[in-house]
């Protein structure tokens, strides 16, 4: 009787123990399920990261020439229009040459006069030399005639230069293309008066070859150290949002540009444009592919901006993590803040330089409602 009672008691105790363990396990499982139901997580992984630098840029022709006028006058003819293909030496426009032709005639006449006077001066000097030998004239008379000849010869040089200048100005009334290319800008009309008094007026802009373009990108000083010649460039333009273009860095300029206390450097890339899709002046969202880091610990970027509400942070004082980058990982049924030092990023994930994270750890990127609950307390 006693033995049977003891067996029953131990059986009951065993059942209670199993039920307790089951209850504890169910409760623990429910806590973990609750967290999984409340949050979206991603695993920390070890892998390769392609380093990228993003910036904005502008499409330009590889070589662009601004054609101006070196003389003033009225435009009497315009032969080049927008998108006109021109060859070096082709006439683009004509300035009224009447005044400049008259200047050439005047300079030519003045040169003839001075040359005639030089002939007369030489005859007079020859005559004076004979008279001086016979002591008929004084030495001073001979010296004066010799000085007059020298002065007239100097005037001849000045007249030759004047004629050359007049001829050059006459040639400049015909405005010609300096290179082969396409006219992408025309800023002159027939009847318009151009004035070249202080600076050369810009009349035409010619792009040499639009089948090969230049991409000028402004890169911040914090990223310029990773950019090198020969690196790959990809970019998109608003006109073709579904198309990705590519190019190659050909120059990293050392001259800085400072706008609103932000220092940037120009990175120039060569871009193939065989179908002439890209046009000068287009803006571009540029990605510079600057290298690959292999076998590094990676965390999603969303995890570094997520902040859970206070009800999930039991006895955690976030103020102690001020000015640190935090991620929150699920450790069994708890949410644990982990300070990390992030490194390079590709825009979606970042390298973990240091921090208590390991491959397989699950970090929270947002809650199930789609909120990332960004911090407003300066914990980044």
pLDDT of residue 77: 96
pLDDT of residue 379: 36
For residues 18-25, average pLDDT: 53
pLDDT of residue 3: 52
Predicted confidence (pLDDT) per residue in 337-365, tens digit: 999 999 888 888 999 999 999 999 999 99
Does residue 16 have a pLDDT over 70?
Answer: no
Residue 219 CA, distance from chain mean position: 7
For residues 15-25, average pLDDT: 54
- b/e map 143-165, b = 16+ CB within 10 Å: eebeebbeebeebbeebeebbee
pLDDT of residue 308: 84
Confidence of residue 228 (pLDDT cuts 50, 70, 90): very high
Among 55-59, 82-86, 269-273, 344-348, the least confident range? 344-348
Rounded CA-CA distance 327/41 in Å is: 11
pLDDT of residue 29: 46
For residues 200-212, average pLDDT: 90
Predicted confidence (pLDDT) per residue in 71-128, tens digit: 999 999 999 999 999 999 999 999 999 999 999 999 999 999 999 999 998 998 888 8
Rounded CA-CA distance 292/289 in Å is: 9
Rounded CA-CA distance 101/171 in Å is: 10
In the chain the domains, ranked by start, together with CATH numbers, are 54-62+209-292 (2.40.30.170), 65-96+174-208 (2.40.50.100), 97-172 (1.10.287.470)
Contact 50, 289 (CB under 8 A): yes
Does residue 35 have a pLDDT over 90?
Answer: no
Does residue 298 have a pLDDT over 90?
Answer: yes
CA dist list (Å): 154 to 82, 115, 140, 161: 49, 11, 21, 11
Does residue 210 have a pLDDT over 50?
Answer: yes
pLDDT of residue 14: 60
pLDDT of residue 221: 93
Among 243-252, 283-292, 332-341, the least confident range? 332-341
For residues 201-221, average pLDDT: 93
pLDDT of residue 115: 93
pTM for this predicted structure: 0.64
H-helix or E-strand spanning residue 143: helix 139-172
Average of per-residue pLDDT values in the chain: 86
pLDDT of residue 200: 76
pLDDT of residue 141: 85
pLDDT of residue 197: 73
For residues 267-280, average pLDDT: 94
pLDDT of residue 368: 74
H-helix or E-strand spanning residue 8: helix 2-38
Rounded CA-CA distance 368/193 in Å is: 69
Does residue 58 have a pLDDT over 90?
Answer: yes
């Amino acid at each position: 009787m006693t033995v049977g009672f003891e067996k029953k008691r131990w059986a009951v105790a065993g059942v209670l123990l199993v039920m307790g363990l089951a209850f504890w396990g169910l409760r623990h499982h429910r806590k973990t399920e609750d967290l999984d139901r409340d949050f979206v997580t991603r695993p920390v992984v070890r892998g390769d990261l392609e380093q990228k630098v993003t910036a904005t840029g502008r499409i330009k022709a590889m070589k662009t020439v601004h054609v101006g006028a070196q003389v003033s006058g009225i435009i009497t003819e315009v032969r080049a229009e927008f998108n006109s293909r021109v060859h070096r030496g082709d006439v683009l426009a004509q300035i009224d040459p009447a005044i400049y032709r008259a200047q050439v005639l005047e300079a030519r006449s003045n040169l003839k006069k001075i040359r005639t006077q030089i002939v007369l001066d030489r005859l007079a000097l020859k005559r004076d030399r004979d008279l001086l030998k016979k002591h008929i004239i004084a030495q001073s008379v001979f010296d004066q005639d010799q000085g007059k000849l020298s002065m007239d010869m100097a005037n001849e040089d000045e007249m030759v230069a004047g004629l050359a200048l007049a001829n050059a100005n006459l040639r400049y009334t015909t405005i010609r293309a300096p290179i082969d290319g396409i006219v992408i800008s025309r800023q002159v009309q027939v009847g318009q008066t151009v004035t070249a008094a202080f600076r050369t007026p810009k009349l035409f802009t010619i792009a040499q070859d639009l089948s090969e373009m230049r991409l000028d990108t402004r890169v911040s000083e914090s990223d310029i150290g990773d950019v090198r010649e020969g690196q790959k460039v990809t970019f998109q333009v608003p006109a073709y949002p579904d198309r990705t273009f590519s190019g190659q860095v050909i120059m990293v300029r050392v001259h800085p540009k400072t706008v609103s206390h932000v220092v940037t450097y120009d990175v120039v890339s060569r871009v193939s444009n065989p179908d002439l899709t890209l046009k000068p002046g287009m803006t571009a969202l540029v990605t510079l592919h600057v290298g690959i880091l292999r076998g590094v610990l990676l965390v999603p970027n969303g995890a570094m901006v997520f902040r859970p509400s206070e009800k999930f942070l039991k006895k955690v004082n976030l103020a102690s993590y001020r000015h640190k980058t935090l991620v929150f990982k699920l450790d069994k049924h708890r949410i644990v803040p982990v300070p990390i030092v992030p490194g390079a990023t590709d825009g979606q994930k970042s390298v973990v330089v240091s921090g208590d994270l390991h491959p397989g750890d699950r970090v929270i990127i947002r809650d199930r409602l789609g909120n990332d609950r960004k911090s407003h307390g300066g914990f980044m």
